[in-house]
Amino acid sequence: MLKTIEVEIDASGNVHPVEPVGQLPPGRALLTLLKPAADEALYLAESAMAEDWLRPEEDAAWAHLRQDK
């Protein structure tokens, strides 16, 4: 029987199940890499935030940090 479990991969490449699964049997498995959920949220928020970012008031507020003066 096939079983799918959710895992996280740490910076060293070690695989950690998100929920306890008990002892995994020896054998082979397939691993599907997913994009982090934060990426999707950033893309969805970009257009909404652009309305605020592109206002003249925002340009004025950040003008002191511009290096091309």
1-35: pLDDT as tens digits: 788 889 888 889 888 899 998 888 888 888 888 87
What is the phi/psi pair of residue 64, to 5°? -65, -15
- Asked if residue 2 is part of any domain, the answer here is no
pLDDT at position 37, please? 66
Tokens of 69: 């003066």
Measured in residues, the chain has a length of 69
Distance CA(41)–CA(45), nearest Å, equals 6
pTM of the predicted structure, to 2 decimals = 0.44
Q: Which domain holds residue 58?
A: 7-27+34-65
- Asked if residue 21 is part of any domain, the answer here is yes
Residue 47, SS3 per DSSP: helix
Tokens of 56: 């003249």
- Asked if residue 1 is part of any domain, the answer here is no
* Strands (E) located in the chain: 7-9, 15-17
